[in-house]
Amino acid sequence: MTSIRSLTVSLGERSYPIHAGPGLLDRGDLVVPQLAGSRALIVTTETVSGLGYAHRLQNAIAGDAACDCLVLPDGEAHKTLATCMKVYDHLLQQRHDRHTTLIAVGGGVVGDMTGFVAATYQRGVRFIQAPTTLLAQVDSSVGGKTGVNHPLGKNMIGAFHQPALVLADTDTLQSLPQRELAAGLAEVIKYGLVRDRDFFRWLEHAMDALIRGDTAALINAILVSCRIKADVVAADETEQGVRAILNLGHTFGHAIEAESGYGNWLHGEAVGAGMVMAAWLSRALDWLAEDELSRIVALVRRAGLPTAPPPGMTPEQFLERMAVDKKARGGRIRLVLQQGIGAATVTADFPPRLLRQTLEHFTAHGARTD
């Protein structure tokens, strides 16, 4: 039987455990000690609720806490203040006080939104994450960023609010569509690229098993990814410096997402192509060896992710979108670039002509990535 593995995110008094493994949604014994009091609210979405995941967790803690469940509509389009209002309404109508605990069961959308409500309801209540997508298990549930979208920008309203517990039940990944699994793998590959050469090598061996949904391989990928994210977050909780390396591939990726219309390309798909573009530029700077570039392209491709932007995008479209990236300072585009596999830096220190050359390579040659 595959066992559960755990780690602690060290943030002083706000430190919290992450557990990854099968059957965790039935483990009331792990959840109950983390509740602030005798009330809790599970927040989930229609799809996830339909799969029975929220119900399992609700049953697991029912003997120890009065736990109700609120089901929200699915999708990024509903990650809004208006949807948060439904949660506030429910909390007030059902008389939840400051000692309640909010538990998000679902992907990054419901996790970000529930975290934001937890950060703001009665000036902050306890919050537990039970992520059910790979992306949420390796990325959005860890690190304390919560928030919602504004019509004028993604994630523009938010707060830092750390969870008290992250419960990553790997059984839930068995029902995840392959495309969503691949999108999560983009972030997993990113962690190897920015921080851990050995992990990248392990991913080269384990990629087929991960795609098959092998539980032991998934647990290892989740734990190592969370450890890397936790280390970076512990060093820079509110993203003043080093945390920005976790945006590898994201500046190119955001341009792709925005140009292709949000929702057509999954975020992870755009990050996959973006990481290949960042690697190509790093190679042009001679910061990355030729064989390292080939290994990056090969691994992104094996994960089932695109290795080039959609046909038809122009360098100008990229440059325009990249200039408004959050990392840009004084109009200069800053990028996360590779310094070999396993090391990355946030820099504006590259000749603009090499960025243009990269963009021309990927737009003029369509899917060519060599």
Residues that bind ligand NAD (CB under 6 A): 45, 47-48, 51, 74-76, 79, 106-110, 112, 132-133, 135-136, 139-140, 143, 145, 155, 172, 175-176, 180
The burial of 286, by beta-carbon neighbours within 10 Å (0-12 exposed, 13-18 middle, 19 or more buried), is given as exposed
Token pair for residue 237?
Answer: 């909780």
Question: Is there a catalytic annotation at residue 229?
Answer: yes
Annotated catalytic, 365?
Answer: no
Active-site residue flag, 123: yes
Cβ distance to ligand NAD smaller for residue 94 or 174 = 174
- Please give the Cα distance from 189 to 221 (Å, whole number): 9
Told to judge if 239 belongs to the known catalytic residues of this protein, a careful annotator would answer yes
Q: Which 3-state string (H, E, C) describes 94-150?
A: CCCCCCCEEEEEECHHHHHHHHHHHHHHHHCCEEEEEECCHHHHHHHCCCCEEEEEE
Angle at 49 between CA 48 and CA 53, to 5 degrees: 75
Smallest gap, in angstroms, from Cβ of residue 9 to ligand NAD?
13
User: Active site includes 254?
Assistant: yes
Nearer to ligand NAD, 139 or 196 (CB): 139
Q: Between residues 96 and 192, which has the closer beta carbon with respect to ligand NAD?
A: 192
Q: What is the spatial distance between Cα 219 and Cα 4, in angstroms, rounded to a whole number?
A: 8
Active site residue 145: yes
- Whole-number Cα distances in Å, 103 to 57, 93, 163, 300: 9, 18, 9, 33
- Is the CB of residue 285 less than 8 Å from the CB of residue 337? yes
Which of 133, 358 has the CB closer to ligand NAD?
Answer: 133
List 96, 227, 243, 327, catalytic entry: 243
CB 250, min distance to ligand NAD, A: 9
| CA distance readout (Å), 197 to 98, 224, 286 | 44, 12, 18
Instruction: Name the percent of the chain in helix, strand, coil, to the closest 5.
Output: 55, 20, 30
> Which one, 107 or 253, has the nearer CB to ligand NAD?
107
Q: Residue 108: CB partners within 8 Å, gap ≥ 6?
A: 131, 133, 135, 136, 139, 140, 141
Residues 191, 248: Cα–Cα separation, whole Å: 9
Q: How far is CA 217 from CA 105, 170, 210, 223, in A?
A: 22, 10, 6, 10
For the bound state, the minimum distance from the C-beta of residue 75 to ligand NAD, rounded and expressed in Å, comes to 6
Q: Active-site residue 250, yes or no?
A: yes
Report the distance separating Cα 90 and Cα 99, nearest Å. Answer: 15
Residue tagged active-site, from 190, 250, 283, 361: 250
Spot the catalytic one: 39, 247, 257, 361.
247
Nearer CB in complex with ligand NAD: 145/283: 145
d(CA 322, CA 332): 9
| Helix spans in 51-80 (H) | 53-61
Nearer to ligand NAD, 133 or 225 (CB): 133
CA–CA dist 193, 282 (Å, integer) = 12
- Are the beta carbons of 288 and 338 closer than 8 angstroms? yes
- Catalytically annotated residues: 123, 145, 187, 229, 239, 243, 247, 250, 254, 267
